[in-house]
Structure 1
């Protein structure tokens, strides 16, 4: 019997064109950003995760404008791979952030293999991701700009504390983006 392939589909993202326009207006989401790399470092530190990202998503791909990897490497803007095969770009149908963007709420996957809908995602086999914790970046216009997320190659008990932390950090980053837009930083 064939597995239920519809469970693995990346959700339809009707907001993508508006998001791309908003990100362009903010001047973010299409190149590495040192401040967002530092934010990703902080995400990793506060959650104890080996990988952390500030992720912006367009119609076709995801871009990690902020990235933390275990060795602290920061791949270039191209498809250069970091430790574990994670570079700055990821196809839109890979990973879990597109689900967070469309759902407009945080997602906790302590062991992705426990969820048939998510276990078949290419990042499990290609990169070895086993756990995920992410929250949407919803700006003052109501558009979901992207996500902040952390992942691990081992199953992980994020718990309520992890969920609260990622949601708090998402809100904090949205405020930083607003200050940047307003000329504050």
Structure 2
């Protein structure tokens, strides 16, 4: 349990697959650093933002200790993540985030999509540092489950205003996550 400025506790989900996920990410060469091959991940995040009409979208790999934004779309187009605010200011120009920040660790632990029309409607999520850090008010995310069955991370879209995502939003983010999982498989096949 980690207390934040709201005085409410935020429970970070227990990560049952952390060690297996970390090992799989290392084998795939994902989750550690950005390089030229990650341009396609940023392009995918741009596509997620366009399809969902959101200011922020992320392709996020999560190991046992932190989150790595392998694909990132921000309103200003700053790939380093500077417009993610102080919550993501440290490390690799803002591409890393503590594991207990944001909503993606919850998606990972659930292994199911998470739809939050207004994060402030949910005490469990309203106290998250990302609410105040960049003003997140709505979240839509789905797990990236690879061919081995391991949830490697998430694909998510976030907005600074409440949104009614509806069934269409849920179906869209799940489809995008499956599409990106195929991209990971192709990357693995071409870089054995």
- 2:42 alignment partner in structure 1: 37
Alignment of 1:15-30 (within 5 A): 15-30=17-32
Runs of 4+ residues deviating >3 angstroms: none
Alignment partner of 1:83 is 2:83: yes
Q: Is the 8 A contact 2:111 2:143 kept in 1?
A: yes
What are the ranges of 5 or more consecutive residues in structure 1 without an aligned counterpart? 76-80
Alignment partner of 1:167 is 2:183: no
What are the ranges of 5 or more consecutive residues in structure 2 without an aligned counterpart? 1-5, 89-93
- 2:106 alignment partner in structure 1: 99
Q: How far is the alpha carbon of 1:60 from its aligned partner?
A: 1.5
TM-score under structure 1 normalisation? 0.90
TM-score under structure 2 normalisation? 0.87
Find the partner of 2:15 among 10, 13, 16.
13
Q: How far is the alpha carbon of 1:63 from its aligned partner?
A: 0.7
Report the secondary structure of 1:19's partner residue: helix
Q: Deviations over 1:67-98 (max 9, x none)?
A: 000111111xxxxx522415311111110000
- 2:158 alignment partner in structure 1: 151
Distance in 2, matches of 1:176 and 1:113, equals 34
Q: Deviations over 1:147-183 (max 9, x none)?
A: 0001111111111111111000000000111111112
Q: Over the residues paired in the alignment, what is the CA RMSD in angstroms?
A: 1.6
Distance in 1, matches of 2:127 and 2:190, equals 43
Distance in 2, matches of 1:40 and 1:125, equals 23
Find the partner of 2:76 among 48, 51, 71.
71
- 1:78 alignment partner in structure 2: none
Report the secondary structure of 1:101's partner residue: helix
Q: 1:27 to 1:117 in 2, by over 3 A?
A: same
Aligned residues: 176
Q: Is the 8 A contact 2:8 2:127 kept in 1?
A: no
- 2:138 alignment partner in structure 1: 131
- 2:57 alignment partner in structure 1: 52
Distance in 2, matches of 1:118 and 1:45, equals 25
Stretch of structure 1 that moved more, 53-62 or 85-94: 85-94
